Amino acid sequence: MLFDSVLNVGGVLARNGIALAPMAGVADVPFRQLAWELGAGYLVSEMVSSLDHLWDTKKNRLRRVSLKGVYPNVIQIAGSDPIELSETAKKVVDEGADIVDINFGCPAKKVCKKFVGSALLDDIPRIGRIVEAVVGSVSVPVTIKTRIGSTPSDLMGIEASYIAQEAGAQLVVMHSRSRACRFKGPVDHEKTAKLKSRLKIPFFVNGDISSRHSASLALQESGADGVMVGRGAVGQPWIFRELLGEEELSLPEKWRIVRRHLSLSYDFYGKAAGLKMMKKHIKAYLIKLGCEDLSARAMKLEDPDVMRRLLSVDQMQQEFRTEQFRKSD
């Protein structure tokens, strides 16, 4: 498929055009590491606030940790003030970012209330000023992530992408929905295709990609250079292998990945916090793997070691037999 090939983002080469989407509280360092190991070529950090008083909070610090052995490290920043954002960009580059991405897509009320994320689609000239200021302040490529428009009937995100390109952005990620649609309703990748007429820089299509089939369709409809997968990777990060055309993993292999994810999370956060962060992933894995009962049990656990035992290979074999017996009843 087209996106198997190297993607050039302003001179920074990503090994392929298959991306894990930034997802605050989900696509953290452990999950990004796992996605890389499973073949994703482009990983974007959870958004990092540009507000001074939030810079040194534990949450903000952990979000911008660079991954070892991964290239490029893309750190996403969010804010509304061009100067503040360019200062933040400098800091993340000093810490090791290979690319700085700016969030113009988040529809969350608490974000938009501060005129951050997709709220900025109401002031496109400001988007231009922000990109220009950030591009001028760092020596690495600057990219943007946005949505088609503010509402289904405008194309402000498409316009914003052209303005960002003029201001020096090197890549656009387009979520094929409007701000008003948030995360619901059908995606419109054909509208994303409107980018093609005037965009000279590469772009990713994003929204509801959860299989090789939906990825091909999104690519075909939008004419994008790559695909970005968010929720479609939760509970099945092996989707990146699938998108690369690799053989489907066996159940024990998938189980090893779940265990690997747990270990990465315990190592990164410490066991107690690691378990807390993992619960949403464990639930998603177990449901995807058809183990609803085990998921219900897992959600009640508070002890990291007990969770590790619950996800042991022996336990898994036992549980799977039970689950599969139930299924064939």
Q: What would the two tokens of residue 305 be?
A: 């070691």
- Count residues binding ligand FMN (CB under 6 A): 23
Rounded to a whole number of angstroms, the minimum distance from the CB of residue 52 to ligand FMN is 19
Strand segments (E) across the chain? 7-9, 12-14, 18-20, 42-44, 48-49, 73-78, 99-104, 142-149, 171-178, 203-206, 226-229
Q: Which CB sits closer to ligand FMN, 48 or 316?
A: 48
Tell whether residue 106 is a contact of ligand FMN (CB under 6 A). Answer: yes
Minimal distance, residue 23 CB to ligand FMN, in Å: 4
Shortest reach from residue 16's CB to ligand FMN, in Å:
17
Per rule CB under 6 A, is residue 26 in the interface with ligand FMN? yes
Decide: helix, strand or coil at residue 293: helix
Q: Taking CB under 6 A as the criterion, which residues in 149-188 touch ligand FMN?
A: 175, 183
Region near ligand FMN per CB under 6 A, out of 204-212, 214-222, 271-279, 293-301: 204-212
In 21-153, where does DSSP find H-type helix?
29-37, 52-55, 58-63, 82-94, 109-112, 124-137
- The reply to whether 132 sits near ligand FMN by the rule CB under 6 A is no
3-state secondary structure of 238: coil
CA distance 19 to 12: 15
Angstrom distance (rounded) from CA 94 to CA 299: 39
Checking 206-209 for CB contacts under 8 A at 24+ apart, the result is: 206/19, 206/21, 206/145, 206/173, 206/174, 206/175, 206/176, 206/230, 207/175, 207/176, 207/177, 208/232
Stretch that binds ligand FMN, among 54-62, 118-126, 229-237, 294-302 (CB under 6 A): 229-237
- 3-state secondary structure (DSSP) of residue 132: helix
Q: How far is the CB of 226 from ligand FMN (least distance, A)?
A: 13
Question: Does 206 help bind ligand FMN (rule: CB under 6 A)?
Answer: yes
The smaller minimum CB distance to ligand FMN, of residues 33 and 206, is found at: 206
Which lies closer to ligand FMN via its Cβ, residue 7 or residue 294?
7
Q: Is residue 207 within the footprint of ligand FMN (CB under 6 A)? A: yes
Find the part of the chain contacting ligand FMN (CB under 6 A) among 1-9, 121-129, 227-235, 317-325. Answer: 227-235
Tell me which stretch binds ligand FMN (CB under 6 A): 119-127, 163-171, 206-214, 266-274: 206-214
Q: How far is the CB of 93 from ligand FMN (least distance, A)?
A: 19
Q: Is 226 in the site for ligand FMN (CB under 6 A)?
A: no
Q: Which residues contact 116 (CB under 8 A, 6 or more apart)?
A: 78, 79, 80, 103, 106
Binding ligand FMN (rule: CB under 6 A), the pick from 40, 47, 164, 167 is 47
Tokens of residue 158, six digits: 């498409």
Task: State the minimum distance, in angstroms, from the CB of residue 69 to ligand FMN.
Answer: 23
Residues near 176 by beta carbon (within 8 Å), at least 6 away in sequence: 147, 148, 187, 188, 189, 191, 192, 205, 206, 207, 218, 222
Quick check: 30 binds ligand FMN (CB under 6 A)?
Answer: no
Contact between 232 and ligand FMN by CB under 6 A: the answer reads: yes
SS3 state of residue 295: helix
112 is catalytic: no
**Binding positions for ligand FMN, rule: CB under 6 A:** 21-26, 46-47, 76, 103, 105-106, 145, 175, 183, 206-209, 229-232
Task: Name the residues annotated as catalytic.
Answer: 106
